[in-house]
Structure 1
């Protein structure tokens, strides 16, 4: 490219248009005053209500007006006195002058009410109009019995009511019709409106869903009727920058008298001011055709039998309606045609140079976009004129970039209907099907909307905030799949998880999805996560976090193999609704399994490819409530758990970095070298790109690799993520250096200020909590790019529902002697006095962590009995509950302990595992008001009076677990803000004393 594109045309921001704010003034109620004969003709022969209603519905317009018909002035006054009427139409009476007399009478009593006179065309009427003051009426029209005229009158008045606001609000365009001949404008207006309204139906297909399509129609050009030179100039001068085109007669009043060349004078003056605006001259006098051609005005012959067709063709060709036809500038032959914005984007670099030059030098692209209500791009391109930038290729690039930015902007915050013709790498969030998006799907759509409403999230030059490219298969696809394959019988049976999965994998998804999936592959070109999004999942009071499966499939060159894997993953997610854990959880939450329906989210996996591995630089979970504040942190400051690699590592309870986004320099785990070496991440999860998933398993992590951090070091993915341990100087240095162990500290992200990472986390927590009006948990992933930019992707948002129980007691005032358990690091809030049972792990001198898997099985069986009985219990054991590494704690899943009302992790003298903060169960704990105590009696951090329970008879005792029941209920009290918790058992402690 010879010319360099000026900077202001390479960096631009397109402001979105809110179509919902347009056309806010409507005509809902119309009063028609007509003699009995015309009233009968309208009602019986014309059926005006029905015709207008059908016309509105056919054009996809809402709010058709209702009509009230009366025959006399007295009836009209009575109706006007009792009903809110927006428009009065006075029709011919028994004599020529009746309609005018009735209209004058109504205007005298209701001067601000729009009033239109319909009159038959005759010489008597013509004389009367010439000799009387018609200015008190809004309009006078010639009535020939065509109900389309009434539709045009309503639209003309609505346009007049809305034009000023809509132009200021969105840049809506104006078509100015200059004509004083009643008979002519009475016939041309219905023709003009029917064409414009049909076009609005066509351009509404640019919308991403049916609701947006209906609203887009409000952006159609407004039609304005001027009857004198002065009126026309006043409209033009007011809305010059938004004039789509002008259609003018030649002979009409100027300076108070009929001027035979008024139209020519008007168009000359407008052309002097604007070289691009289309100008159409129309006349019944043949002599005017040569004058129009001479001045390069377009011309329409009023006497032509095909006048209406000629006018429509000119609107299509010159005012931007219809398809954009690229023409050869010499022969005027068509060289290309585009119908949609995406087609223009795809073809802008393929148009021959001379044709492209012809159109951009006349601002045709801007006008075509304007006619389609794509105002932001049109307005931007309108300023990039040929005078300012004489380079065809530069124009191509600018048009392409503007369309891409507009489509990205329009996609954010909108759930589009998936359309193979529109979905490409610039598309964003779409749904297939008409059912629900499910819990996670709704959360993602909500996050996308939060991003759209808060542009400050993307205010930083080196950081973007968005959600990944997403397609949701709605719940109706699930229903059809289950019914068509007759799966309910096996799904609701007691069959094993493996057998249920086998049946589901043999079933068939609808064939029509195949082409959609191929389009999605082409648009994403990266691995795809197939995530559950059930009706109950992540609902405000029904959090099903981590209950259903999430599979990941690698991106392959063989698209048919990728299709097979995707289909298997979707069916496996569907099957997970009916696995044993899911059914147990349903029972625990008092839900009925056959009420559950599953949507499935197909989403690009955030990350980069490193050989045969794929993973993001950072995964994280943000929680706007921090139940473990340290130092000067507060509970309201929130907390983030950060990890290298896929987020499954965090969900599985892996070792993460815990940091408050408001205190990024205060990280407990990296405060001392020994702690940093011991308590930071040494492993991470990555997707195995070499595993094509021949055998899908119940375990959704079957193709997820657990790698050592040194693998990431080889991948060179640790920039700004890791620090380096120098064993010679016994120091940890921020950054990557040769040799030395790499320690995952996120120092470059948190403390060095290279990226606005803490600020983005703060904003996400604050805006998410404000939007949901309650504390939230947000999952995210982040790519750190080589050019020192970051892409921050929000993956999920869930509400954290706090217990509403009031806690008035200061727990610090309760003496230790009254406590069976006490924790100074408790999670949860509220009071519970309905628990009689304690289940605890026997931690005598024979305890070893190698038995933890067996302990998990024993507890699962005991928990099932509590579920059957509808009772709760206190669960106490060593190490981290729910850790996937059984050396760190008992590897239970939430369904295995879902009847527990309080869970306590206790440190042993020779088994002192750092507390987990209930990572894996956080959402479930807070939503169900379950407490989580951390106790270390060896450091004086809490009390655990196990010896008291050992002295009681056991309800059940296994090799590793003991269950005791009290006669009176325990009193569980938790102060979530102070992280204090106690369990009181007065009867036991009194006996002991």
Structure 2
């Protein structure tokens, strides 16, 4: 059991479908007389016919045909162009065609040559003794264009099989047949069936792009025309052989052997007793040859041959639904349509049925046929007969499916499907419009985590994004148009009136079932965040302009749905609030061109009585504008705080540190700093506030609590120190009595959690992959119940930092005094800002914090006046600008100072 648990941890996820089928037949040289070309076209272009065949089967890259009438013209074209396939139509000149093929093969030895010929007794007799060494395949042509598709796919399978098997474990179906007429008729049906099945299993993929890629993982079909060729193919691909379809009488040792099929079956089952083999023969008496396990018989010449073959392949090769049967009665006990259903049913399948199907590799074969190679390989090598109790096997299978689904969900923007979205889903979208800035950033972070598994190298920490659903911008468009909201939204009305109009509007009807499915899966509070087209733009950041509403969890899905729908409408309304309009004007954007997507995501954290919050949240930047001491500009900087991240965004007191120098923290350098400059309060979501009447203030249901309240929750253990007033010292950790200081000492100095190392890695990767400096938002829940590991590190957002390149390195002390308008010895950083007309200065003399709110109103009035006049200005003043706490500084917001 321990061995297989280890195998599960190391289960390879090698199924990158983008690397499959890299060799394609794009260009075909057709050598045929004008008459044969005319017959072939039947008054229509052959390109159109093959294109239609591809379209019907959802295939891409249909080949183009170039037609020539003789060998000389063919050689001329081969010298000018590249071809992946040559097709000869010799008519009644088969002998000349074989000789011509030899000459062409010398010129293009690596290009397959196929002969298409109408079959007659004379042609058959001639082919028996003809030298066909230059011809790769001969086919009987009856005018059916689906044969051309089968030929192209057969050639492509042969070109790609070795690499695709080696790369991800693609499966092989071997057809053993030496009758040209028979394999010419069976191959089109065989390919149509396999391609239809691949289209069906591709629905397991998460979006349209992945469905197209997943079809590349379909089983390859290889044609063997002799016993020797069949055994050679099997020996090369025996670990990946899905099944075999074999004639009884075919060539062996250079001669026709009427029992070659029986001998081949015996050879195959000696090596793999449960390999499925379908025997086909025109002699009904050969049915007795297919009486072994995993074998079946089908009679050639039957009018229902294609339908019978499809049914046998469905039953034996693992296509279609996985049907669990009672081994004694053959009665169906469970029917599985997809992987998620297998996950749900695995603990309820009867023991004898489970053993029966596992011992015969039915489960792994079903997974292989659906291109789920990693989990198929894992299950194939579980010897169920070694287990007296099937429960460990069930648990291993369940865990393997969960792991596979989690990994496949990472880094993928899935299309939301209500029947498939569950606790193991990660990121999905509703709609075809844009994702908007925040949602794009989240998707990028998810993909980055998948590309860099080293981020999850720590045994006790899982790096992840929250479970996310995105409503794309087209949902916003439909909502606005259906409810005729632009007339109201674009007026200069109070925010409350705009919000009221949006609250009474109706969301698109198509959202209802999807949102119901989402709230039934999510068992935590939900954040509803803006994700506009302009948000997180590289040169005009809109972060913080629009609303983010949090809704508490309720066990009643109806209540959750009501709160969620109201919150979505609230976020939409915030596009048209006065502060949004003011900022749009200041940044020269047009409000009615703004499009809003919405991010709906789980909130990171845990419940503590009536409140919910993470252990801590943070913001980190790869560029440190104000390095102190040993810090370098490129070392990055982070601000962390107990509780919800809105506390940081609103300008609360946070702990500042450089991830490269986590033990050098200015705020903890003296006792005075530590007592004055560290966090004294935190934000948590009020779980009892389920008011459906949403106000303009998106923080209406957040609790602002003193830090000491968190002590009883146990969330301070790793992030706080204790001030001992008697000894006048600060001790790491929680001690009885004394004020608690949010110092992060255990984490940053004792490294009980790899915060600094993770932030350094993420900032470095983010900067490299975005090609510019970045800012990230994150939240951490220590001792989390949400992951397989002990701690959860959630990446919530990434956006570019607006960094002006107009900088200079002159010594400011050497500038002539007469050239200076103002000078300070307390500023950090320098740069060039042109077109400045005015200075707005808030004097520090007689500064009174009680007047900060009034000061913010005055600054807003001045800003509006200067904005109307088109005059840019510098704003100078004391305190912490933009803080939500007016005692710390002047509480201006973006619209109040956006010029």
Is the TM-score greater than 0.5? Answer: yes
Cα separation, 1, equivalents of 2:78 and 2:751: 69
1:291 offset after TM fit, Å?
2.8
- Are the structure 2 counterparts of residues 522 and 12 from structure 1 closer, same or farther at C-alpha, using a change threshold of 3 Å? farther
Structure-2 separation of matches of 1:206 and 1:271: 32
1:159 aligns to 2:157 (yes or no): yes
* 8 Å contact from structure 1 (residues 774, 801) kept in 2: no
Shift of 1:98: 5.4
Of 303-312 and 774-783, more deviation after overlay is shown by 303-312
Q: Indicate the residue corresponding to 2:891 in structure 1.
A: 891
CA RMSD of aligned residues (A): 1.9
1:665 paired residue number: 663
2:858 aligned with 1:858? yes
Map 1:10-409; keep pairs closer than 5 Å: 10-44=8-42, 47-95=45-93, 97=95, 99-293=97-291, 297-409=295-407
Instruction: Report the CA distance shift for 1:341/1:255 in structure 2 as closer, same or farther (over 3 A).
Output: same
Between the aligned partners of 1:734 and 1:742, the Cα distance in structure 2 is 10
Q: Which runs of 5+ in 2 are unaligned?
A: none
Q: Which deviates further from its counterpart, 213-222 or 344-353?
A: 344-353
Distance 2:357 2:366 in 1: 11
Counterparts of 2:824 and 2:631, CA distance in 1 = 19
Q: Which residue of 2 aligns with 1:626?
A: 624
- 1:288 Cα offset (Å): 2.4
Distance 1:315 1:295 in 2: 15
Is residue 227–residue 250 contact of structure 2 (8 Å, CA) maintained in 1?
yes
What corresponds to 2:841 in structure 1? 840
Question: Hey, what's the Cα distance between the residues in 2 that align with 1:772 and 1:303?
Answer: 62
Change (3 A) 1:823 1:794: farther
C-alpha displacement of 1:664: 1.3
Superposed CA offset, 1:479-534 (max 9, x none): 00000000101111111111111111111101221211121112221000000000
Q: Distance in 2 between matches of 1:69 and 1:182?
A: 24
The answer to whether the 8 Å contact 1:802/1:829 transfers is no
In 1: Cα distance, 2:81 partner to 2:793 partner: 56
Partner of 1:944: none
CA deviation profile, 1:112-167 (whole Å, cap 9, x unmatched)? 32110112222211211111121210101111221111110000000011111111
Note closer, same or farther for the CA distance 1:361–1:651 as it changes in structure 2 (3 Å cut): same
**CA contact under 8 A between 1:99 and 1:119: conserved in structure 2?**
no
Q: In the superposition, relative to structure 1, how do residues 4 and 458 fare at CA in structure 2: closer, same or farther (>3 Å)?
A: closer
Map Cα deviations across residues 917-953 of structure 1 (whole Å, 9 max, x no partner). Answer: xxxxxxxxxxxxxxxxxxxxxxxxxxxxxxxxxxxxx
1:793 maps to which residue? 794
Contact kept? 1:779, 1:797, Cα under 8 Å:
yes
Residues 859-868 or 261-270, more deviating: 261-270
Larger mean CA deviation between 287-296 and 151-160 belongs to 287-296
8 Å contact from structure 1 (residues 34, 92) kept in 2: yes
Q: SS at the partner of 2:685?
A: strand
Q: For the Cα contact (< 8 Å) 1:247–1:281, is it kept in 2?
A: yes
CA contact (8 A) 2:98 2:132 kept: no
Structure 1, unpaired ranges of 5+: 900-993
For 2:512 and 2:852, how far apart are their aligned partners in 1? 45
1:901-940 alignment, distance < 5 Å: none
The Cα of 1:675 is off from its aligned counterpart by: 1.9
Shift of 1:812: 3.7
Change (3 A) 1:747 1:817: farther
| Structure 1 residue aligned with 2:557 | 559
Judge which range, 251-260 or 615-624, deviates more: 251-260
The corresponding residue for 1:642 is 640
The answer to whether the 8 Å contact 1:92/1:120 transfers is: no
Q: Do 2:541 and 2:802's aligned partners in 1 also have CA atoms closer than 8 Å?
A: no
Judge which range, 720-729 or 69-78, deviates more. 69-78
Aligned length: 896
Q: Shift of residue 447 of structure 1?
A: 0.8
Residue 378 (structure 1) shift: 0.8
| More moved, 692-701 vs 271-280 | 271-280
Q: Counterpart of 1:496? A: 494
Deviation at 1:306, TM superposition (A): 2.1
Q: Equivalent residues in 2 for 1:321-720 (5 A)?
A: 321-720=319-718
Q: What is residue 733 of structure 1 aligned with on the other side?
A: 731
Distance 1:75 1:677 in 2: 90
Q: Residue deviations 1:197-225, cap 9 Å, x none? A: 00010011011010110111000011111
TM-score normalized by the length of structure 1: 0.88
CA contact (8 A) 2:855 2:890 kept: yes
**Per-residue Cα deviation, 1:733-763 (whole angstroms, up to 9, x for no partner):** 2122233222111122211122222211111
* Cα separation, partners in 2 of 1:555 and 1:297, compared to 1, 3 Å: same
Moved more, 62-71 or 297-306: 297-306
Q: Quick check: 2:626–2:829 contact (8 Å CA) kept in 1? A: no
Q: 2-side partners of 1:557 and 1:386: how far apart?
A: 40
- Aligned match of 1:804: 805
How much has 1:101 moved relative to structure 2? 4.9
Tell me what 1:924 maps to.
none
TM-score (norm 2): 0.97
- 8 Å CA contact retained: 1:471, 1:603: yes
Alpha-carbon deviation of 1:431? 0.4
- The alpha-carbon deviation at position 832 of structure 1 amounts to 2.7
Residue from 751, 758, 761 that aligns with 1:760: 758
Which structure is larger by alpha-carbon Rg, 1 or 2? 1
Distance, in Å, in 2 between the alignment partners of 1:709 and 1:635 is: 32
SS of the aligned residue for 1:821 comes to coil
* Structure 1 residue 298: Cα displacement: 2.5
Structure 1 match to 2:876? 876
Q: Does the aligned pair in 1 maintain the 2:635–2:659 contact within 8 Å?
A: yes
* Counterpart secondary structure, 2:805: coil
Partner residue in 2 for 1:916: none
Secondary structure, in 3 states, of the residue corresponding to 1:629?
coil
Instruction: Choose 212-221 or 228-237, whichever is displaced more.
Output: 228-237
| TM-superposition CA deviations, 1:564-609 (whole Å, max 9, x none) | 1111111111111111111111111111111100000001000001
Quote the offset at 1:435 in angstroms: 0.3
Per-residue deviation at 1:418? 0.4
Contact 1:209-1:417 at 8 Å conserved across structures: yes
SS in 1 for 2:682: strand
CA separation in 2, counterparts of 1:642 and 1:377? 40
The answer to whether the 8 Å contact 1:16/1:410 transfers is no
Query: Would you say the 8 A contact 2:324–2:332 is kept in 1?
Result: yes
**Partner residue, 1:934:** none
Alpha-carbon contact 1:653-1:884 (below 8 Å) kept: yes
* CA–CA distance in structure 2, aligned partners of residues 833 and 371 of structure 1: 65
Answer yes or no: is the 8 Å Cα contact 2:722–2:733 preserved in 1. Answer: yes
Residue 810 of structure 1: how far off its partner (Å): 2.4
1:179 shift after superposition: 1.4
